[in-house]
Amino acid sequence: MTETFETHVSSISEPGRADDVRCPTAKDVSALESSLQNAVAALLDQRNEDGHWRGQLSSSALSTATAVCALSAVRNTQDDTQQAPDELEHLCENGLNWLVEHQNSDGGWGDTVLSKSNISTTALCWAALSTGRSAHDDAIRRCEHWLTERAGSLEPDAMAEAIRKRYGKDKTFSVPILTALALTGRLGSPETAWKIVPQLPFELAACPHSWWAALQLPVVSYALPALIAIGQVRHHHRPSRNPLLRALRSAVSNRTLRLLGDIQPTSGGYLEATPLTSFVVLSLVGAGLTQNEVISKGVEFLVESAREDGSWAIDSDLATWVTTLSVRALSEVNSPTRIFSDEEIGRLREWLIGQQYQTIHPYTHAAPGGWAWTNLPGGVPDADDTPGVLLALRSLDDGSPRVRMAVANGIGWLLDLQNRDGGIPTFCRGWGALPFDQSSADLTAHCLRAWRAWEEQVSPDLRQLIEMARTKAIRFLMSQQHHDGSWTPLWFGNQHAADDVNPTYGTSRVLMALAGEVADASALLNDSLMRAAEWMLSAQNSDGGWGGASECPSSIEETALATEALAAILRSDGVEASEALHGNEMASRIEQAISGGVSFLVQATQNGREFPPTPIGFYFAKLWYYETLYPLIDTVGALGSAISLRHERHAPTRFPHQPSTSPR
């Protein structure tokens, strides 16, 4: 396999041509070849015994803190003569030791060991430390000093205000944090604490599912378990003074608990997520519901997902997601038939098809046809993983009816998800007003790429539906473009950027989609793409790399994404000429930027041998993570695109609006 790959790279990496804007030196070409070769080998080595990728999510201080709080609460309700408390005691102490060892120098905690301290994680670690049976006085003292500086004091009202301020009107995460603080005694006496914790309207979960979007729940759609469990514990400790509302909540309590059990996956982990599952377990114990089966299944999940070093990750894994990203990145390097054996292609194809949901999902009531981020039972079909699988299957397609059926169902699933504004939400069409349930630019762009990849292979009726959806999606993307030319994504951020946003990720993902649309595009769309390219060029750092936004430290992930997106522009089919290009100036600048990005990647990865990750992932309302495979996958995609661009550039550079002078 490696020999075939090396032969292919050598065949396309010929010396720079005179018509290239910048002719790489022999040293440049050699470094690019060897780095790509090393990175591909490293990525292939990361496959598991089943032939796909599972990756590894970063350990999380927030996840570890919530797990310790939940398991400590369960431990305290059990008889000391039982064996289970000993196991829970061991897990709790290991978790606390891990937290103490990874406390930041300023006394706080960030979500990952590479993250800045934040009020949410630090407050939850403070709560967890209150449960310990071993002394961690110094860690607590430093933690309380950090919290006092950020919140003004440790008084309950000050802490609550600081936490609410971080999340605004979205109660998805602020109320669970306050609940954890209340249940661990960090908000003072029970009477004081439960006055501060808002009541979540768990009674609304008893309404028909079809009503939920109209009800405008105060939490995002995927946080329904927290709505029920946390609403129950608040009602238990401080029932409403309104007798009718108090009676209603008591009347539907058992019904919503049954729903909580019905939507719990067989693994016990809601969304396969440690924080969400921990909040549910902690709240049910706090409400005195210690015999509820949801607790025992949730504890099993937390015990099974604990890591040997004492920590927990944010989620079990992103196996489907990283597998589709890996397949797509390798497809940029070469045809899958040149990298994988027929058997390996078949196994990947069958594994991906096997993850497609064939029934209505019990959690979100999503129709059959979508894919989740993992093959584990806690996954939920969504609009980022579904187009990811569709793009991977395009690379692995054997033309069989089985593949075509899966693809048609996946495309149909995405089409049905499209909102009236033309954009694509994550899980549910037309849900609430909170950002994580609204249409987003990065998801919409991903769907555009998937539709474009398959439109010539599907039935005429489905092709017509795709055309209508594409028009609306492009219109949505253009409406979401910022004045500076960038787009903001939903599920990725950057802790060094203002408001934690990541326009580099968002803009690169939209550029990848629009680059495939320019052959049929209007002048307005090409102007939009041009402004985006200008923003991307302006955001490049002097070291050749990109961070999440202008003047943010460069990372491997963001540099690779930006490099691949710019290469996609130069590889796209152009249309009529435009004065905006000023001849070949823009193309020259883009090629120089790509060259800088490639140089940064070669150096930052030590010629494709090392891939230090960066926490750019958002999850569950400003909860950060990193995935160890992201920098490796992204590097393969970027370097593969760059070397393919060199191979394709037998004609002078063409760009949208610039006429072609010779066939490709």
Q: Number of structural domains, the chain?
A: 3
Residues 475-480: contacts with CB under 8 Å, at least 24 apart: 475/422, 476/421, 476/422, 476/423, 476/439, 476/441, 476/444, 477/423, 477/441, 477/444, 477/445, 477/448, 477/510, 477/513, 477/514, 477/528, 478/524, 478/525, 478/528, 479/421, 479/422, 480/423, 480/441
Q: What's the mean per-residue pLDDT of the chain?
A: 87
**pLDDT (0 to 100) of residue 2:** 39
Q: How confident is the model at residue 499 (pLDDT cuts 50, 70, 90)?
A: confident
**pLDDT (0 to 100) of residue 315:** 95
Residue 322 and residue 377 share a domain: yes
Contacts of 286 (CB under 8 A, 6+ apart): 73, 179, 183, 233, 236, 237
Please give the structure tokens belonging to residue 148. Answer: 């006092």
Q: What is 40-107 written as a DSSP string?
A: HHHHHHT--TTSS----BPEEHHHHHHHHHHHHHHHHHS-TTSSHHHHHHHHHHHHHHHHHHT--TTS
Contact assessment for residue 147 and residue 166, using Cβ atoms and an 8 Å cutoff: no
Domain end, chosen from 313, 345, 373, is at 313
Specify the DSSP class assigned to residue 322: H
Residue 489 and residue 457 share a domain: no
Residue 341 and residue 299 share a domain: no
Model confidence at 20: pLDDT above 70: no
Report the C-alpha gap between 252 and 255 in whole angstroms.
Answer: 5
**pLDDT (0 to 100) of residue 23:** 46
Contacts of 353 (CB under 8 A, 6+ apart): 393, 402, 403, 406
Report the C-alpha gap between 421 and 430 in whole angstroms.
Answer: 10
Q: Token pair 């990952």 is at which residue?
A: 112
Contact assessment for residue 336 and residue 330, using Cβ atoms and an 8 Å cutoff: yes
Q: How far is CA 100 from CA 110, 182, 249, in A?
A: 13, 22, 40
Residue 342 and residue 301 share a domain: no
Model confidence at 488: pLDDT above 70: yes
**pLDDT (0 to 100) of residue 662:** 29
Residue 169 and residue 221 share a domain: yes
Model confidence at 295: pLDDT above 80: yes
Residue 258 and residue 178 share a domain: yes
Strand, coil or helix: what is 26?
helix
For residue 417, is it within any domain?
yes
Pick 619 or 144 by higher pLDDT: 144
Residue 31 and residue 103 share a domain: no
**Residue of 560, 573, 569, 559 lying closest to 590 (CA atoms):** 569
Specify the DSSP class assigned to residue 312: E
Q: How confident is the model at residue 586 (pLDDT cuts 50, 70, 90)?
A: confident
Pick 49 or 524 by higher pLDDT: 49
**pLDDT (0 to 100) of residue 436:** 62
Report the C-alpha gap between 76 and 83 in whole angstroms.
Answer: 13
CB neighbours (10 Å) of residue 184? 22
Quote the distance between the C-alpha of residue 244 and its chain's center: 42
Model confidence at 609: pLDDT above 80: yes
Burial of 167 (0-12, 13-18, 19+ CB in 10 A): middle
Return the ∠ at Cα 223 (arms to 218 and 227), rounded to 5°: 60
Range of the domain at 449: 317-480
**pLDDT (0 to 100) of residue 454:** 97
pLDDT in tens, 64-95: 999 999 999 999 987 554 446 789 999 999 99
Pick 11 or 115 by higher pLDDT: 115
pLDDT in tens, 181-194: 999 999 999 999 99
**pLDDT (0 to 100) of residue 204:** 86
Q: Give me Rg for the CA atoms of the chain.
A: 26
Pick 144 or 204 by higher pLDDT: 144
Lowest mean pLDDT of 106-115, 228-237, 280-289, 429-438, name the range: 429-438
- Average pLDDT, stretch 434-453? 89
Q: How confident is the model at residue 256 (pLDDT cuts 50, 70, 90)?
A: very high
Model confidence at 481: pLDDT above 70: yes
For residue 513, is it within any domain?
yes
Model confidence at 654: pLDDT above 60: no
Beta partners for residue 627, in sequence order? 57
Report the C-alpha gap between 368 and 381 in whole angstroms.
Answer: 9
- Average pLDDT, stretch 142-160? 97
Strand, coil or helix: what is 505?
helix
Q: How confident is the model at residue 587 (pLDDT cuts 50, 70, 90)?
A: confident
- Average pLDDT, stretch 312-318? 96
Residues 137-142: contacts with CB under 8 Å, at least 24 apart: 139/99, 139/100, 139/103, 142/103, 142/107
For residue 9, is it within any domain?
yes
Residue 555 and residue 476 share a domain: no
Pick 222 or 306 by higher pLDDT: 306
For residue 53, is it within any domain?
no
Pick 204 or 245 by higher pLDDT: 245
**pLDDT (0 to 100) of residue 214:** 60
Percentage of the chain exceeding pLDDT 70? 86
Report the C-alpha gap between 491 and 512 in whole angstroms.
Answer: 17
Residue 543 and residue 451 share a domain: no
Burial of 45 (0-12, 13-18, 19+ CB in 10 A): exposed
Q: What is 198-261 written as a DSSP string?
A: PPP-GGGGGS-GGGHHHHT-SS-GGGHHHHHHHHHHHHHHS--SSHHHHHHHHHHHHHHHHHHH
Q: Token pair 């089919």 is at which residue?
A: 573
Domain end, chosen from 313, 330, 346, is at 313
Residue 413 and residue 330 share a domain: yes
> Residues 303, 308, 309, 310: what is their CA dihedral angle, to the nearest 10 degrees?
10
Beta partners for residue 492, in sequence order? 617
Model confidence at 293: pLDDT above 60: yes
For residue 96, is it within any domain?
yes
Residue 275 and residue 137 share a domain: yes
For residue 568, is it within any domain?
yes
Report the C-alpha gap between 486 and 121 in whole angstroms.
Answer: 30
pLDDT in tens, 519-573: 555 667 778 888 999 999 999 999 999 999 999 999 999 999 999 999 998 887 6
CATH number at residue 186: 1.50.10.20
Stated pTM of the model: 0.90
Lowest mean pLDDT of 81-90, 416-425, 429-438, name the range: 429-438
Q: Token pair 């963001």 is at which residue?
A: 558
**pLDDT (0 to 100) of residue 520:** 56
Please give the structure tokens belonging to residue 439. Answer: 């249409």
CB neighbours (10 Å) of residue 515? 24
Return the ∠ at Cα 137 (arms to 136 and 138), rounded to 5°: 95
For residue 119, is it within any domain?
yes
Contacts of 126 (CB under 8 A, 6+ apart): 140, 143, 144, 147, 181, 186
**pLDDT (0 to 100) of residue 336:** 81
Q: Are strands 312-313 and 59-60 parallel, antiparallel or unpaired?
A: antiparallel
Domain end, chosen from 436, 455, 480, is at 480
Please give the structure tokens belonging to residue 176. Answer: 């669970």
Residue type, 273: A
Q: What is 342-400 written as a DSSP string?
A: HHHHHHHHHHHHHTS--S--TTT-PPTT-B-S-SSTT---BTTHHHHHHHHHHHH----
For residue 466, is it within any domain?
yes
**Residue of 181, 570, 222 lying closest to 364 (CA atoms):** 222
Report the C-alpha gap between 279 and 250 in whole angstroms.
Answer: 21
Model confidence at 651: pLDDT above 60: no
Residue 177 and residue 262 share a domain: yes
